[in-house]
Structure 1
């Protein structure tokens, strides 16, 4: 992991090069779980800088494939730290720019009150037809859900009931629409003004690998003022306040 002091010095130096440049249009690939906070951050960034953010929201695995195939994204806000590291290794991202912008939390959630208990015992009872999660091959939150179920010893019994969405946003839709009584989603998706609507169990962090979400500058954005400014803005106190308000911990 690149130390914060080195990253800040590197970024500040590059920003000086582009201060006089005209406003940029910045294509950003954003992990689906980070949709709501990023929309707020992007709006504030646009107002402050004049740059335009063009955000696409989806699964980190799908974005990885698109970037490898030449998609012109300039920044990736991933749902893990492994994908940005792979892109750096493969030469399609700038290594010194990678840092953790947030640490995510997994939650078992139902749109209906009283369904999910405070200890997640509903998983052992199995009194439901479907349980939703994001595709574990594409989405880190889906992989975390599978890992948690296996550690709890319920995966084999629940496997026939699992319905997968391509993204965590689709898994959330399955539950919010009632097509699935419950499912594993990101805490940020269900936290509204500090409260969770419906019923939920925040999955203990020792049941799954830490969901460290990293940002990285991609090759098409190298040397451009807009992407560099956005990465800097993402680390600002106002942006970090938005991030923590959605239940994330700040990246380390």
Structure 2
């Protein structure tokens, strides 16, 4: 009888002892412009929560296609709202959250004479090579072409000229990759592939850190284009994927994004 009671007690005790749950890996697919910022967010999440984050960075449109083809992404951080919303339109449950914003800037070669006021005239100059990322594959390219669309308001015929002359240098499925350890936009400019390159301001800051002679040109309000970044947790993802999404939206995650130049909200008022 005692043996039976002991066996029962031991079995009951096993249910009372907290079981050690193996930490699940979270797969984060994110826009290339988020590489540095969300790389640091992922490290902070791992340190605080204990779950490993596997990151995959690239053009948002190409990442969306890979997700559509069945790759095991858990959280998708896109450089626009459209790509995650397209996934929702195809059956993902959503919702898509706006988690940060970015703005477009121009990178110019060290010897290029250009200011915010003269940027449009410089880009229209037939001798000036204007680089962008690839529309549809990379939202940065879409935003650049949106800027071109605004140019007619300032100078008739500008949209057609800029659209025709734009060099699609990054973000496409066949675009050349930067050497290991090089910033893509610093490398493109270092290789003299463009005289002026339109990209996110956050990309421009990172490029200038590597190639200090580059100029960052702010874009005038009448041409300015802002980028809304969308966040989606994919169907079937674990609770830890939702925790990562909340961490990105949390004050700690937002502060890291803000430190890299992204426009953020959700930060507590300073005491």
What is the TM-score when the length of structure 1 is the normalising length?
A: 0.79
What are the Cα deviations for residues 181-211 of structure 1, in whole angstroms up to 9, with x where unaligned?
Answer: 221111111225x989521222346536642
The reply to whether residue 146 of structure 1 matches residue 167 of structure 2 is no
Please give the root-mean-square deviation of Cα atoms over the aligned residues, in Å. Answer: 2.8
For residues 115 and 70 of structure 1, the distance between their equivalents in structure 2, rounded to whole angstroms, comes to 47
Q: Secondary structure at the match of 1:233?
A: helix
The 3 A distance-change label for structure 1 pair 245 and 199 is same
Comparing 30-39 and 195-204, the one that deviates more: 195-204
For residues 242 and 150 of structure 2, the distance between their equivalents in structure 1, rounded to whole angstroms, comes to 40
The 3 A distance-change label for structure 1 pair 181 and 114 is closer
For residues 132 and 75 of structure 2, the distance between their equivalents in structure 1, rounded to whole angstroms, comes to 26
CA contact (8 A) 2:116 2:219 kept: no
2:162 paired residue among 150, 154, 158: 158
The 3 A distance-change label for structure 1 pair 58 and 225 is same
Size of the aligned set, in residue pairs, is 228
Please name the residue that 1:181 is paired with.
Answer: 195
For residues 234 and 30 of structure 2, the distance between their equivalents in structure 1, rounded to whole angstroms, comes to 13
Please name the residue that 1:48 is paired with.
Answer: 48
The reply to whether residue 100 of structure 1 matches residue 98 of structure 2 is yes
Q: Secondary structure at the match of 1:175?
A: helix
The 3 A distance-change label for structure 1 pair 38 and 116 is farther
For residues 21 and 77 of structure 2, the distance between their equivalents in structure 1, rounded to whole angstroms, comes to 24
Report deviation, 1:116.
Answer: 3.4
**Structure number with larger C-alpha Rg:** 2
